[in-house]
Each structure stands twice: as C-alpha cells, then as structure tokens.
Structure 1
Amino acid sequence: MNERVLKVLEFHKVRKELAKHASCSLGKERAEALHPSSDFETVKEWHAQTDEAATVVRKKGHVPMGGVSDIRPHVKRAEIGGGLNPQELSQIAQTIYGGQQIKRFIEPLAEEEIEIPFLLQLADQIHGLVELRRQIEQCIDEQGDVSDSASHALGSIRRNRRSTEARVRDKLSQMTKSSSTQKMLSDTIITIRNDRFVLPVKQEYRQSIGGLVHDQSSSGQTLFIEPQAVVGMNNELRELRLKEKEEVDRILRELSAEVALHTADLLENVETLAHFDFLFAKAFYGEAIKGSRPALDPNGYAVIKKARHPLLPYNEAIPSDIELGGDVHTMVITGPNTGGKTVTLKTFGLISLMGQSGLYIPAQDGSTIAVFENVYADIGDEQSIEQSLSTFSSHMTQIVDILKHVGTQSLVLFDELGAGTDPQEGAALAMAILDEVHKKGAHTIATTHYPELKAYGYNREGVINASVEFNTDTLKPTYRLLIGVPGRSNAFDISRRLGLAESIVSQASEQVGTESHKVNNMILSLEEARKKAEEDRNRAEERLQEVQELQRSLETELQDFQEEREVMFQKAEEKAEKSLAKAKAEAEEILQSLREMQNRAGHGVKDHELIEAKKRLEEASPKLAGGNKKAVKKPRHQNLQVGDEVKHLTFGQHGHIINKRSEDEYEVQLGVLKMKVSKADLLYISRPEPIETKPIATVRGRGPSIKTELDLRGERYEDALQRLEKYLDEAMLAGYPLVTIIHGKGTGALRKGVQQYAKNHRAVTKTRSGEAGEGGSGVTIFELK
C-alpha cells in the first residue's frame, strides 16, 4: 500500500489508537508498524488470530501481560560478552515470569472448550527458563539491587561493612556531643566526602580538630575534616567496599554469562510475547470501537452495514450502509458541501485498510469486506507552492499517476473529482476519468457537486448514484448516505427559509434550464418514495416489536401458570400424605385396641365394642376433596370435531379442539395452553357454525407455522444461542416432542455451545447427535417435555 494513501486516509491515527491498548513497548512497536496486506489468505489468517484474542477478552475480561519488557538489547550485549547491571537482569527475570504467566493463563482455556488453536500454539512456543529466573531472583532483589543472599562471601562482607560503619558513626557521634567539640563545628552532623565519614569544622578550628581535610564549603568558612580517630576505621571501611564491589561484579558477570547461554530462547520469548501483546491490543481496540469481525469476499464484493468512521466519537458518527462490488463497481456520491461526502469516502477507505490489517471494523455484524491489491486516493487540497501547481494541477497529477497503475483489484477514491476548473470542462473530465477507471475494472467511489454527474449512473452499467441527505427544515445535513438517489440542489429552498424575497428566488428559478428542473423533480420524487418506504418499514418494525412483546408476556404468563400449578400439586400431595399418615396411625391404634380386647382373660368381645371399633376405622379413612360425593360419570360426546367448544372436566376450563390426534385423544387450546386431553375427560359444549374467513398471516414462531428444525449455520456464536433460546420457547408452546438443531460440523465450537446450552434448559429432557440419514454430527436432536 502507498504510504501517502495511508496518511491521506489517516490510517496512522488508527495505529496510534491501537498502540494505546498494548501493555508493553513490544506490542506498541508492532501496532505502530502495522501495515495492511493485499494477500487474501494472510488477511484471513490475521482475522482468525484477532478473533481468538477477542474471544479470550470476551470470556475473561483481562490478560496478564504485566512485567514484560523489551530485553533484546540486554540479551544481545550479554551474548557478545558484555556485563549486565542489576536492573537489566531484573527486567530479564520479570519478562521470563511474564511469559510463564501468559502460558499458565492460555493453556487451561483449552479445557474450557474455548476454540483458540493459534493462541495455544503460540503459548507452546514460550520457554519456561525456570532455573535462569530462579538464579537471577536469588541474586537480585525487587528494587533491582544485588541482595546479601547472592553469595555467602557477599553476605559476610556486607555484615562487616555495616558493623564498621556503625563504629565510625558512634565515634563521630560522641565527638559531636562533646561540649568542647560542638563549638568547633559548623553543624552537629556527620556527613560523607570521598566515601569517608567527616565532620563540618569551622575554618578557625582546623588545627584544633586535627585530621585529614577532604573538602570545604563554597564560602571557605567550613572544612570537612576526617578526624584522626576514625582514619583507620575509614580505611577499613574502604577496603570492605572494594571487596563488596569485586564480589558484586563477579556475581553479575556469572549471571550475564548464564543469560548469554539462553540467548535464543530469550529472544524467541520476546517475539512470542510481542505477538501476544499485539493480538490482545487488537482485541481491546475492537472492543473500544464496538467493532465486529468482517467476512472476507475473494471476488471484490463489499457490503458494510452501519459503517462508522473509527476516529469519530461513537455517539457522533452517523452510521451508513455502503455496498460496492458484484454488479456495481462505481458509486458517484453527490450532495452539498459539508454534507458528509468526504467523511463517507474516507470511512469506506479506512475500514477497508483496517480489515486488510486484521482489525475489527466499526460496523454491524454481518458486514463483508474485499481484499484490494492497492488502494488509491485523491482527497483534499494538495496544492504545492514549491512546485507552483494550482489545486486543479495538483489533483490532476495524482489522477494521472493513479490511471497508470490502477487494475481490477484496486480501490480508487476520488474526492470532488474535476474540481478547481471550469464547471463544464470539469464535469466532462470527471465523467471521462470515471469511464476509464470503470473500464479497467477497479472499484471506485467518487464525490462531486457537479449536476451533470447526477444522471451518470442512470445510463451506465455497473454504476450507481448516491447522495448525502440534507434536511431543508433545519438547513443542516443529516450525514446519512442514500444509495440509488442522487443529491439535488437545495439552494432555492435554503434561500427561501433564510428570508430571501420570493420574487428574487422565482427570477433565479426561471433562469435554470427545464432539464435541471426535471432532474430536481425526479430526485425529489425519489426522496419522497424513499421516505415513505422508510416510514412503512419503521411501522412494520414497531408492529413486530409489539408482537414480540406480546409473545414474551404470554410466555411469562405460561411459566407463572406452570410454576403455580406445580406448587398446588405439591401442596396437595403433602396434604394427602399427612392425611394418609394420620389415618394409618389411627388404624394401628384401633387394631391394637381390638387385640387387647381379644386377649382379655375370660372376657369375650362384646357386640357394642366391635361396632364402636368398626366405626372408628371408618372415621380414620382420609377425607379427600369430593370424597363424600357420589362418583359422577363423565359425560362425553361421541362425535367431537375440530373447532368444537368443550369443557375440561378435571380443570373446569372451557376451550376448543384444534387437532384430533387419535380416536381417544384430542389436542385442545385452553387459554394460552395447548394440551393433549383424553376424550373421556372432555364435555361437549357447542359447535360453531361454519363461516367464510379470509386467510390471515400467521405470526412467525406461533402455532403450526414454526418448523421442527432450526438452522444455525453461518451464525455468530452469541447470535446463534439467542435464536436457539427463542426457538425452544416457541417449540415448547407448539407442543413439539422432538426438534432438530442444525449447527453444521465446522470447528465444532457451535455444536458444543448448542449441546452445553441444552443441558441447562428446563424444557430439554434428552439430546443426541443425528443419525446418518438425519445429518450426522452436523445436527443435534432435542427431546422436549
């Protein structure tokens, strides 16, 4: 891709925004060097990688990329024998730890059935280097200093050094506290000069203190003297410091040599971690712009739904549907200045570059992009004072260069084509240039305000007109792109609304040619037709929303009814169990009483005692509702038909028969419920007279209109589960015992998601994969309650 085009379309700003989402300098470096690819397979692979990273971000919300640094300079210096300082070694250890962290984060995701083959392969390339990290961390502390535990000798030297320092300080502290010495000091403090402990002594007491002078103040009134009493201890301290430095240098040399032994593994880790950071930066950037993964079309067809410019605030960008390719290779956008033509042009070009860089695009799901070999753009005022070129000359220079290189796999963007010269000549040149580019098979979008180009798309095959909408009531553009409708002049309408006299407007209108009036009237008619179609569509969407709300309400009522019925059944069962238990206890008590009467020595059971016991047994029987009523033979009608009004004898509800399942079983609609009812449980009420009715459209998902199979192939994962949830509710309302879910074979992710969802759904009792004649592993059969 031409770097000038990337700059014109502001792709460098997208790279900067992308770099903000990187966690370390490695990812930022790759983000800022991102360049679109013109190879279809490469772009396809990039999008697969970005999608895996986006899946992880969506599932986990974070990625542990902390502590990673660009350690390549340190490793390469160690490789050629150079020594590393403690801070550099500490960065190497932290980067090794960062690699271990991301490896531990990624690998368990495979067990959660998250499909991320590339990320797993990338994690497998990270070398653990556990021993090297342990050695560095044992010698270097968290502050980046060599720790006392780095070696036994270093620990011993530092203990002696600290002990000697304490003795020196104690000796000097005694001197500062002495009344005879205090008057000689400029300040009662102990300080250091040339790595030796000294006292600040007044100039006049130099001979009284005695010792070595190491420094003096800027005024010369204070001398920094090392008293003779501590000279020996300072010498000892200096020797200990030299030994400490030698031991620290030895430890650092050994660690640097150990790093050199692992140069290849460390550099490979850096490259792998850089790629991880770059991919997750792509994922987080896609989330920030509310982007989506586009489909890729190998034949140059692009349809971008609700496209937004990525550099504009989300709430300010007006989404537009842009379609190019297939039967239409050239789009001419007309309309007033500041109406949004250039923004639309740049949006399409920039989204194409983003898509070819493996980035999510700021558009609705289901968008498709083409992979162009080259993108050419002539946008903005590129007048050059140094070259003494006018605006027109500058544009024409760019156009000449474009025409030399353009081909069938090119995208060409012209902004205000033919501007900067005589309008009549400019319009003629614009049409000739568009013809030439179109003849070469390139995909082209051009903006213009020339009225002659409004009819350009009507008499040329493969060309379509478009315009940006202008609201004459508010006198402001709406920035909406209207495909198939050329822009019309709004000068007269705007002038009237701003208060220009009607006589002046009428006089101006008379000077405009008849053909121009016809064109404007035609455009006005097209706009009115479009607005009416849009209003009809909005009303249809509102009606659909009402129907969906009604469906949700009925589903809620059905669920509440079922839950209430289950509670009532449970209470009835509990009550029956209590009554039965009580009856059993009373019966046992009566039987025990009878046994006692029989066992009485020499005493027979009297008649009135037996009668009383029998009465008690009868009273002990549980009293069920309706138990004291005589059984009523349920009446039924011998010739029940579909449409008959009937009464359900068990529930006492009225309904009507909607289907005859067999001689002894019917399907009955009771309110919002459909039930299978035995013929013996139905009471015939009436049969309506047949009347002529006009067929009405059934609501999708209601009654018999719902199919027994659902095809989810090609759906995104989240959209597929939403459709599945709605479909199961509708299938349950329709009373289907068995439904088929078609998910295809593919990577298996959708199949696993569908089957996992079924395990947690209250209506699904059993699932199985399809047989050979049913679709095999590409379908799953659900058995419903």
Structure 2
Amino acid sequence: MIYPNNFEEKIGFDKIRQLISDKCLSLLGKDKVHEMDFSIHYEEVKTRLGCTEEMVRILQLEDEFPANYFFDVRIPLKRIRVEGTFLDEPELFDLRRSLETIRDIARFFKNEKEGEARYPYLTEMTANVMLFPQILISIDKILDKFGRVKDNASPELARIRREIIHTSSSISRSLQSIMRAAQAEGIVEKDQAPTMRDGRLMIPVAPAYKRKIKGIVHDESASGKTVFIEPAEVVEANNRIRELEGEERREVIRILVRMADEIRPFAEDILGSYDYLGEIDFTRAKASFSIEINGILPTFENKRQIDWQRAIHPLLYLSHKKQNKSVVPLDIELDEKNRILLISGPNAGGKSVCLKTVGLLQYMLQSGLLIPVYESSRTGIFHDIFIDIGDEQSIENDLSTYSSHLTNMKHFVRRCNENSILLIDEFGGGTEPQIGGAIAEALLDRFNRNMSYGVITTHYQNLKHFAEDHEGIINGAMLYDRHLMQPLFKLSIGNPGSSFAVEIARKIGLPEDVIADASEKVGSDYIDMDKYLQDIVRDKRYWESKRQTIRQKEKKLEELSERYEEDLNKIAAQRKELMAKAKADAERILAEANAMVENTIRKIKEAQAEKESTRLARKEMEEFKAKLAEQEAANDDMIARKIKKIQEREERKKQGKPQKPVEGQKKVFRPEIIETGDAVRLKGQTTIGEVLEVSGKNALVAFGMLKSTVQLERLEKMSKNQIKKETPKSTFVSQQTADDIYERKMNFKQEIDVRGMRGDEALQAVVYFIDDAILVGVAQVRILHGTGTGALRQIIRDYLKTVHGVKKFRDEHVQFGGAGITVVELE
C-alpha cells in the first residue's frame, strides 16, 4: 500500500518515470512505463530486477542484440478485424520489420538457451513468444526493400506498370520534340524543361507566347510571369496515365486486402507478440536509465531491511552531474533491532533529502529498477510505504498544515505494522512546540509498538530522549561543520544532532545581546546539552576518520601479508623444483657410477685379476665415490644456502630493514685469497663463476648451472671492475637487479586510475603500468578510465592491441564498473 495518492510526486518518482519513457524506442515501451507499478510480491520484484540487470549487461557487453525496429502497429492490426479492410504499404512495412525484430530477439535468447543461459530471466520471458515466419515470407513476396508493393506482386499489376512506363516515355518524347521546336522559335527559353503540375507534364511558357502552343493552360506561377501549357498532342496520353494510375491503386488495394485476409486469423496472437516487444523496449529503457545513474542490483532478500552503503538520490545525481558537482552518498541501516531512525540536525542540512532518498530508492527497487548503491548493500521488501512531507495546507478542505499532518498520522497509526515503512518529515511540527512534541512522542511510541520501520526527521529534544531510552528506535544526525558553519550533508547514526541555532544566528549577524537573551531564556541546561551534542558529533567525526585510516592501513597490511604468503609459496615451489633437479642430477651421477663400476669390473677381468691392477681399479672407484659424495653434499649445501638467502631477504623486507648491511669500511680486494662468494674464472678462460665452497686446496665453483671442483691454483679471482669490463651485460642478471625486480613486485598494485587525465597523459601512464606488470609477471590488471565519451577507453584499447605481452582484454563486470574499467589479462 502506498500513501498518499500523490506519493510518486512527493518523492520524485514521476520524474524518474518520464526519464525512462524518454528512453523508449516506441509507444509500446512508453505504455509499459505508464503501467509500471509498485509490487509487494518478492518473486515478481526479483524477476523484474533480474530482467533489468540482464539487459544492462546486454547493453554493455553485446553488440548484436536486435534493437532496430520497435514499431507500434497495434491500431492498424485492430482495424483489419473487419473483412475488406487492409494495412496500407507503410503500415504493412512497419509490421514486417517489427515482426522481424521480435523474431531476431527470440532467436538471440534461443541461442542463449541452447548454450549457457547467461540471461535466464529474459530467456524465460521469451519462452512463450509466438513468431510468424509464414507472414514474413508472404509480406516479402509483395513488398520490396523500400516498403513499396513489387511490380510482380500480381500479373495484372505488372501489366499496368509496364503500360504506365511505356505511356510516360511516349509523353516525354513528344514533349521533348515540342520543346525543341518551341525553343527554336524563341517561344521557350533554352534552359527550360518540361515541368510536372498536378501529376501532368507541361511546358512553361511566357504569357505573351501562350497562344503560340496549342494546348490547355492549366496553371500559372505565383508571379504571373510563367504559364504552364499541356500540349494537345499529349492530353490524351496524360489522361491514359490517370486511368492507369487508378487501375494501379485498385490492384494494389486488392493485393493488400488479400494480405490482410492472411494476417487476420493471427491478429490477436500478433498483438500478444507486440506486448512482448513493448516489454523488451521497456526493459531496455530501464537498463539504459540504470546505466546513466550507475544503478546496480544489490543483494535482495525477502525480509524487511535497509542496509545501504553509498546510496545516492538519482535525480540529485543527474542534476549535480550537469553542474560538474558531486553528491554526498548516504549510509543507512534499518534492521529488526533498530527499525526507526530519528534524524535531527540543522535546517538545510540534508534531512529531507535523506528521507526522500530512502523513499525513492525503495520505491524504485520494488518497481523493478536498479538503484545507485554500493555492491555490498543489502535490500529488502516492504508491503506499505507511508510518507508525510511538505506543506499540505488545503484551502478547499479547510485544513491547516498541522491538521493535514495529523490526518496523515491517523492513517499511519491505523494501518502501519511490521511490514510498513514510515517516512515523516519535521515530525510534530506546525503547532505549539510543547503539545506538538507530546503528541509526536505518543505517536512515535505507537509506531514502535506496532514494529514498523521508518525514517523520521525532527528538531524536538523530547523525541531525541525518547529514542535513546527505547529499543527499536535509534538517533541519527546530519553532520555540520562548526568552523566553516556549513552543512556536510552526511548522515551519522548513533547520536542525536544539534540544530546549531545559536551558531547559525550568530553567523547571519543577529545582534549578540539578542542571542544572549535567548540563551538566558532557554536556560543553561539546554545550551550545555546542545553544546555537548555538538562535541559528541565532532568527536565522532574525528574517531570515524581515525577508524577509516586504520581500516585502510589494515587493508594494505592484509594485501602485503597475502603477497608475502604468495611469495613464500613460490619459494617452496622453487625449492621443490631445485630438489627435483638435484634428484635428476643424482640419478645421472648414479648412472655414471654404474658405468664406472662396470668399467672397473671389465678392467679387472682384462688384467686377469692381477693384484696390482685390482688395487688400482679399486682406488679409482673409491676416489670417484668420494667425489660423488662431495658433490652431493655441495649441492645440498647450495640449495639450503639459496633458500636461506631468500628467506632472510623476505624477512628483511617484512621488517623494513635494508637488504644489505651498511659497512663502515670498504672491503679491500685481495686477488691472492679466494673465499666463498668470490667471483673467479679458470686461468686462460673467460667464463666467470662463483665460489660456493673452499675445501683445502680445492674449491667448488658454480659456472651458471654447472658446478665443478677445481684446484685453487687454477683459479683467478675477479674484481667488480673486471667483471663490468669483461662480462657482457646480457650474460646474467645481477643480484641487485633481481632484488629491484622483487621490490617492484612486492609494491606493484594491479590497478591504475587514469580518470580525469588527458589522452596523452593517460596513455603514457598506461604504457609504464603495463610494462611494470609484464616485468613483475602478474596475470591480470585493471585500468580505471571511466565511461565519458569513450575516447579515453578507445585510446587505451588501441594501445593494448599492439602489446605482445597482452593476452586479451575486456570490460569489467557491470556490478564492478562495467565499461568504465578495462580488465587486461597478460601472458
């Protein structure tokens, strides 16, 4: 139930209805907009919202959805119910094109049904739509692509039109001959040509020469300087043309009547399909409006609740958008515990806008429209919406504003229940404050006991106290900047608000002695309480700001923790990979050992088991086994040290410590001493390796992926300058470079916002961003460019097409930004 009758006008829904109607492509859709109503049935509302949300996705993602011909041919279809009537050529052509659109839309959703049903609600709507392929075929047989009856629609029509063409050609030749003769005699100007007047070809002649040409004068120009003569030679032919045109019209009507006879049995079914076409047009208009106001489908549940984040009044948003101004969003929550929100605060602080926003968005939602709120919002359904707002003074009914207010309250008290939501502005106002406040308090108590929901604005202190003392009612305040003396238009729930009457009076220049007298009359208790309210609001704003900062830092910390955990998982994967490689190396070495054993056995057999030969073979075997054991130990040690290095580096990053300790003294390069970690090369060679371990006179050196035990005397120690001079830059990635890349990866954000930038600025930022993304190896990034004119989006996407590292890109999901965000997947 909606109360009062002018509810839509009060909350602004009548303007919403008009905006949606303007977006319709036909009268079919406009009629559906007029029929749009408030529903209290959960499944019906859910279906309406689902259809609108799916159409939003179609408009944003689909390029092939049919939306060309939404013609309204309902009146002509009803007219041909009578035998002998027909659709004229334009009407028949409109019928043909609109039936084709219905067929194409049904085919679009039929393909969806056969595959993955991405649009289940719209597909279900299309399930019972009737199509008329035979009628389309029949119309195509008689109409050409321009909507005119074809020459071959019947043999008789073809004959008539051939004769018209032949006769017209004969008339043209005769006139041309007469014109040339008249021009030769100077009767007609050289640049004149035959002219069509009243459907007959004539010769324009100056009045002085009109008797020089035999024929009939039919007309003269407005200036009187030219007369139009039909030569006698072509009068009969022109008459024949008239006769043929009449025959042609009669034959065309006969063909159209025959076509109407074929359509007539299906007229009612066609009208049913037109109802579907109107529903699609209406849904498309709703979706287009939703995109314009950034409307989405939040969580919708079959219970009484309002839990909205960043809700925006759509009409205020569109108005401010034209002026390049922003709208302060509204956060509001009504649930079973706190059902009634009592809002107080200064005048012109946004209380009424808040109340109208709640009423309008709830009404829009239950009318099947998407609403501009944040994705995490939760919505519910109410059976009754009652509103009392504005000046209801009526001269005709002899009602004052307060009387009208009480009349509404009488209706609210009688009808409100747990399924109702009440929207009351300036509760209790319009009469003497003491009794007005008392009546308002009694009404508020009744509303609360009836378990109703509501948003109520007031200035009365007794109502604020009542809300504090009674469960089910919660205070709220519209915030006000005491220093700048201006409203913030932001709702804060939990504490009552101050009217800031003294501060506002002082700001507008009311004499200080008047303010002092007023303060004395009202008493220090009231002034102190108002001051305490202001302090509470100020402190709450401060702590709210602090809490927001903490939330942002916590979120950033969580992101860092997730990245840290992800990197640890990668370390584990790297360790697993290294162990697998070490195992493969061990298997290879074991195969070599087996070959060595077989070779030893062969040598023993060839030497006929001589004692000395056997001893030497066994010695070689023992040395090989020792070498294997040494290399295996070195591999294990190297893996352990690499993992330890990675973990230490991660720990230093987490604690914010520098990756390398700062030394107070520069290390002296001593070429004669080779230690673990030194860069070396074999004497006479160019390949540079790293010393992994020094054992006596030998060292274990890693040359890239190859490790070898080499005598120290065969090695040459390399300084950093030598490495820079002698080693090509592309042969390895230094530890510093690797650390820099790792640092970038740790701090890389997978989203960039280029809204508001010029095209060249945005493109440069995106180039750097994509380069970094490819460098650190992320799989997916997001680019926020907004919708606007689409120019910025096109520039960015043209660039992405040229980048080899980009796998593909697409629009973000509509609930997370839609066409205003490009999601890029990287190889």
- TM-score computed with the length of structure 2 as normaliser: 0.66
Partner of 1:344: 354
- Is 1:406 the counterpart of 2:413? The answer is no
Q: Deviation of residue 378 (structure 1)?
A: 1.3
Question: What amino acid does structure 2 have at the position aligned with 1:150?
Answer: A
Partner of 1:261: 265
Cα 1:445–1:121, aligned 2, differ >3 Å: closer, same or farther?
closer
Tell me how far apart the structure 2 counterparts of residues 102 and 189 of structure 1 sit (CA, whole Å).
Answer: 51
Cα 1:438–1:181, aligned 2, differ >3 Å: closer, same or farther?
farther
Tell me how far apart the structure 1 counterparts of residues 626 and 160 of structure 2 sit (CA, whole Å).
Answer: 104
Partner of 1:748: none
Tell me how far apart the structure 1 counterparts of residues 474 and 408 of structure 2 sit (CA, whole Å).
Answer: 24
8 Å Cα contact 2:479/2:497 also seen in 1: yes
- Is 1:102 the counterpart of 2:112? The answer is no
Cα 1:572–1:24, aligned 2, differ >3 Å: closer, same or farther?
farther
8 Å Cα contact 1:210/1:227 also seen in 2: yes
Q: Deviation of residue 466 (structure 1)?
A: 0.9
Question: What amino acid does structure 2 have at the position aligned with 1:188?
Answer: Q
The alignment partner of 1:446 has SS state of: strand
Q: Deviation of residue 146 (structure 1)?
A: 1.9
| Residue of structure 1 aligned with 2:19, choices 17, 20, 35 | 17
8 Å Cα contact 2:347/2:499 also seen in 1: no
Question: What amino acid does structure 2 have at the position aligned with 1:230?
Answer: V
8 Å Cα contact 2:349/2:480 also seen in 1: yes
Partner of 1:171: 174
The alignment partner of 1:329 has SS state of: strand
Residue deviations 1:608-642, cap 9 Å, x none? xxxxxxxxxxxxxxxxxx99977516569xxxxxx
Of 449-458 and 115-124, more deviation after overlay is shown by: 115-124
Question: What amino acid does structure 2 have at the position aligned with 1:650?
Answer: I
Tell me how far apart the structure 2 counterparts of residues 440 and 630 of structure 1 sit (CA, whole Å).
Answer: 88
Partner of 1:711: none
| Residue of structure 2 aligned with 1:230, choices 224, 229, 234 | 234
Tell me how far apart the structure 1 counterparts of residues 108 and 377 of structure 2 sit (CA, whole Å).
Answer: 32
| Residue of structure 2 aligned with 1:197, choices 186, 201, 213 | 201
Q: Deviation of residue 348 (structure 1)?
A: 0.7
Q: Deviation of residue 549 (structure 1)?
A: 4.6
Matches within 5 A, 1:111-122: 111-122=114-125
Cα 1:554–1:466, aligned 2, differ >3 Å: closer, same or farther?
same
Partner of 2:8: 6
Cα 1:384–1:80, aligned 2, differ >3 Å: closer, same or farther?
same
Tell me how far apart the structure 2 counterparts of residues 180 and 476 of structure 1 sit (CA, whole Å).
Answer: 86
Partner of 1:275: 279
| Residue of structure 1 aligned with 2:45, choices 18, 43, 46 | 43
8 Å Cα contact 1:647/1:654 also seen in 2: no
Cα 1:502–1:264, aligned 2, differ >3 Å: closer, same or farther?
closer
Question: What amino acid does structure 2 have at the position aligned with 1:91?
Answer: D
Q: Deviation of residue 181 (structure 1)?
A: 6.8
Partner of 1:513: 523
Question: What amino acid does structure 2 have at the position aligned with 1:244?
Answer: E
Q: Deviation of residue 142 (structure 1)?
A: 3.4
| Residue of structure 2 aligned with 1:215, choices 214, 219, 235 | 219
- Is 1:632 the counterpart of 2:635? The answer is no
Tell me how far apart the structure 1 counterparts of residues 223 and 636 of structure 2 sit (CA, whole Å).
Answer: 116
Cα 1:496–1:549, aligned 2, differ >3 Å: closer, same or farther?
farther
| Residue of structure 2 aligned with 1:650, choices 634, 639, 645 | 639
CA RMSD of aligned residues (A): 3.9
| Residue of structure 1 aligned with 2:551, choices 510, 524, 541 | 541
| Residue of structure 1 aligned with 2:158, choices 155, 159, 165 | 155
Q: Deviation of residue 92 (structure 1)?
A: 0.6
8 Å Cα contact 1:182/1:188 also seen in 2: no
Q: Deviation of residue 467 (structure 1)?
A: 1.1
Question: What amino acid does structure 1 have at the position aligned with 2:146?
Answer: Q
Tell me how far apart the structure 1 counterparts of residues 477 and 64 of structure 2 sit (CA, whole Å).
Answer: 43
8 Å Cα contact 1:37/1:43 also seen in 2: yes
Tell me how far apart the structure 2 counterparts of residues 306 and 166 of structure 1 sit (CA, whole Å).
Answer: 74
Cα 1:375–1:500, aligned 2, differ >3 Å: closer, same or farther?
closer
Cα 1:219–1:354, aligned 2, differ >3 Å: closer, same or farther?
closer
Percent identity at matched positions? Answer: 31
Partner of 1:448: 458
Partner of 1:753: none
The alignment partner of 2:80 has SS state of: helix
Question: Relative to total residues, which structure has the larger helix share, 1 or 2?
Answer: 2
8 Å Cα contact 1:307/1:320 also seen in 2: yes
Partner of 2:307: 303
Question: What amino acid does structure 1 have at the position aligned with 2:440?
Answer: A
Tell me how far apart the structure 1 counterparts of residues 301 and 196 of structure 2 sit (CA, whole Å).
Answer: 74
| Residue of structure 2 aligned with 1:30, choices 29, 32, 48 | 32
Tell me how far apart the structure 2 counterparts of residues 258 and 572 of structure 1 sit (CA, whole Å).
Answer: 84
8 Å Cα contact 2:575/2:643 also seen in 1: no
The alignment partner of 1:142 has SS state of: coil
Q: Deviation of residue 509 (structure 1)?
A: 4.0
8 Å Cα contact 1:648/1:654 also seen in 2: no
Partner of 2:725: none
Question: What amino acid does structure 1 have at the position aligned with 2:313?
Answer: H
Of 91-100 and 389-398, more deviation after overlay is shown by: 389-398
Q: Deviation of residue 556 (structure 1)?
A: 8.2
8 Å Cα contact 2:479/2:537 also seen in 1: no
Of 563-572 and 408-417, more deviation after overlay is shown by: 563-572
Q: Deviation of residue 414 (structure 1)?
A: 1.1
Question: What amino acid does structure 1 have at the position aligned with 2:630?
Answer: V
Residue deviations 1:315-366, cap 9 Å, x none? 6222222222402332211111110000010111111111211222221223
Partner of 1:428: 438
Residue deviations 1:518-571, cap 9 Å, x none? 432442453245234313322322222332453466578679989999999999
Tell me how far apart the structure 2 counterparts of residues 79 and 553 of structure 1 sit (CA, whole Å).
Answer: 72
Q: Deviation of residue 185 (structure 1)?
A: 4.4
| Residue of structure 2 aligned with 1:479, choices 482, 489, 507 | 489
Partner of 1:130: 133
Question: What amino acid does structure 2 have at the position aligned with 1:277?
Answer: D
Question: What amino acid does structure 1 have at the position aligned with 2:642?
Answer: Q
8 Å Cα contact 1:456/1:465 also seen in 2: no
Q: Deviation of residue 297 (structure 1)?
A: 4.4
Q: Deviation of residue 133 (structure 1)?
A: 1.2
- TM-score computed with the length of structure 1 as normaliser: 0.69
- Is 1:363 the counterpart of 2:373? The answer is yes
Matches within 5 A, 1:755-766: none
Partner of 1:139: 142
Tell me how far apart the structure 2 counterparts of residues 89 and 231 of structure 1 sit (CA, whole Å).
Answer: 36
- Is 1:71 the counterpart of 2:61? The answer is no
Q: Deviation of residue 235 (structure 1)?
A: 2.8
Tell me how far apart the structure 2 counterparts of residues 556 and 442 of structure 1 sit (CA, whole Å).
Answer: 50
The alignment partner of 1:38 has SS state of: coil
| Residue of structure 2 aligned with 1:396, choices 398, 402, 406 | 406
Partner of 1:293: 297
Gaps of 5+ in 2: 319-324, 586-623, 652-692, 694-827
Cα 1:630–1:156, aligned 2, differ >3 Å: closer, same or farther?
same
Q: Deviation of residue 247 (structure 1)?
A: 2.0
Tell me how far apart the structure 2 counterparts of residues 199 and 30 of structure 1 sit (CA, whole Å).
Answer: 56
The alignment partner of 1:241 has SS state of: helix
Cα 1:505–1:241, aligned 2, differ >3 Å: closer, same or farther?
closer
Residue deviations 1:279-332, cap 9 Å, x none? 333333333322232444444232222221121227622222222240233221
Cα 1:329–1:434, aligned 2, differ >3 Å: closer, same or farther?
same
Gaps of 5+ in 1: 576-625, 637-645, 657-667, 674-682, 684-785
The alignment partner of 2:428 has SS state of: coil
Cα 1:261–1:499, aligned 2, differ >3 Å: closer, same or farther?
closer
Partner of 2:480: 470
Tell me how far apart the structure 2 counterparts of residues 231 and 670 of structure 1 sit (CA, whole Å).
Answer: 109
Tell me how far apart the structure 2 counterparts of residues 137 and 242 of structure 1 sit (CA, whole Å).
Answer: 24
Question: What amino acid does structure 1 have at the position aligned with 2:110?
Answer: E
Matched positions, count: 606
The alignment partner of 2:492 has SS state of: strand
Partner of 1:380: 390
Tell me how far apart the structure 2 counterparts of residues 493 and 166 of structure 1 sit (CA, whole Å).
Answer: 92
Q: Deviation of residue 377 (structure 1)?
A: 1.1
